[in-house]
């Protein structure tokens, strides 16, 4: 269980709610899934590979909380559609969707980037979010409630040399998030985007950085917690997360 949180303190807030977290096998996605489960949600763990998802599920169930696994490749429309139909049949409701799955791709100047790598980055980081919202938002619309939280990056706010494709995908994700928030707020759905700086995970390079000073996955999980426990009359449309000290 995360430091500073007891099950008694946390478990009631999201009781009865169902959450879907993509990229839930490790890093930010695993931390977010574990925290939502501690808050009482039934969490559906999504990812391309089952083994990492099983590790997250084990951690959640070890705390006495609830998790299910559904393998899904967010860059594949058929895979997402299968997830959606299976999910709706199994749960019938969706309260929280966390679009976390993402890739960085290779570093280097844009003119040296292969078209296949460009496609992989955009298909996961941007197209995948579109597929998930397209397939799962209708469940929320029918219920007139829900949270959609897109995990972006400060690379979507600031120029990052040698990561142009990744940065562009996150700028696109931010724009998508702002627009979808306006489209869905009339349906009672709150759409938020969280933009962290470098996070201490296996996902991002840490050459020359002090990992103790970097953001940790739990920091992003805490931001998600703030979003989903916000009072009904308001929502946090955007959160920028930076480390207190530069690593």
pLDDT of residue 190: 98
Is residue 101 within 8 A of residue 52, CB to CB? The reply is no
128 falls within a domain: yes
55 falls within a domain: yes
pLDDT digits (tens, 9 = 90+) for 86-99: 999 999 999 999 99
227 falls within a domain: yes
247 falls within a domain: no
207 falls within a domain: yes
pLDDT of residue 3: 44
1 falls within a domain: no
Q: Which helix (H) or strand (E) holds 42?
A: strand 42-47
Number of domains in the chain: 1
What residues act catalytically? 166
| CATH code for the domain in which residue 207 is found | 3.40.50.720
pLDDT digits (tens, 9 = 90+) for 188-229: 999 999 999 999 988 766 667 888 889 999 999 999 999 999
66 falls within a domain: yes
Query: Which residues constitute the domain of residue 188?
Result: 7-241
pLDDT of residue 2: 45
Q: Would you write out the chain's pLDDT as a tens digit for each of its 247 residues?
A: 444 454 444 568 999 999 999 999 999 999 999 999 999 999 999 999 999 999 999 999 999 999 999 999 999 999 999 999 999 999 999 999 999 999 999 899 999 999 999 999 999 999 999 999 999 999 999 999 999 999 999 999 999 999 999 999 999 999 999 999 999 999 999 999 999 999 998 876 666 788 888 999 999 999 999 999 999 999 999 999 999 988 7
pLDDT of residue 31: 98
2 falls within a domain: no
Judged on CB neighbours under 10 Å (0-12, 13-18, 19+), 235 is: middle
SS3 readout for 167-234 = HHHHHHHHHHHHHHHHHHHHHCEEEEEEEECCECCCCCCCCCCCCCCCECHHHHHHHHHHHHCCCCCC
């Amino acid at each position: 269980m995360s430091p500073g949180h007891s099950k008694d303190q946390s478990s009631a807030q999201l009781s009865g709610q169902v959450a879907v977290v993509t990229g839930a096998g490790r890093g930010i996605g695993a931390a977010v899934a574990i925290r939502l489960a501690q808050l009482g949600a039934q969490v559906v763990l999504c990812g391309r590979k089952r083994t990492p998802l099983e590790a997250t599920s084990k951690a959640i169930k070890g705390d006495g909380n609830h998790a299910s696994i559904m393998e899904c490749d967010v860059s594949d429309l058929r895979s997402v559609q299968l997830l959606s139909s299976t999910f709706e049949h199994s749960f019938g409701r969706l309260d929280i969707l966390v679009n976390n799955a993402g890739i960085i791709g290779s570093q280097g100047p844009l003119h040296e980037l292969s078209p296949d790598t460009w496609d992989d980055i955009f298909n996961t980081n941007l197209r995948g979010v579109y597929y998930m919202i397209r397939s799962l938002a209708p469940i929320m619309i029918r219920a007139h409630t829900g949270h959609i939280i897109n995990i972006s990056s400060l690379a979507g706010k600031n120029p990052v040399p040698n990561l142009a494709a990744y940065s562009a995908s996150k700028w696109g994700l931010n724009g998508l998030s702002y627009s979808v928030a306006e489209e869905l707020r009339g349906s009672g759905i709150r759409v938020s985007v969280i933009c962290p700086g470098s996070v201490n995970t296996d996902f991002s390079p840490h050459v020359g950085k002090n990992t103790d000073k970097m953001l940790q996955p739990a920091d992003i999980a805490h931001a998600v917690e703030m979003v989903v426990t916000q009072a009904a009359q308001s929502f946090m449309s955007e959160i920028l997360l930076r480390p207190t000290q530069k690593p």
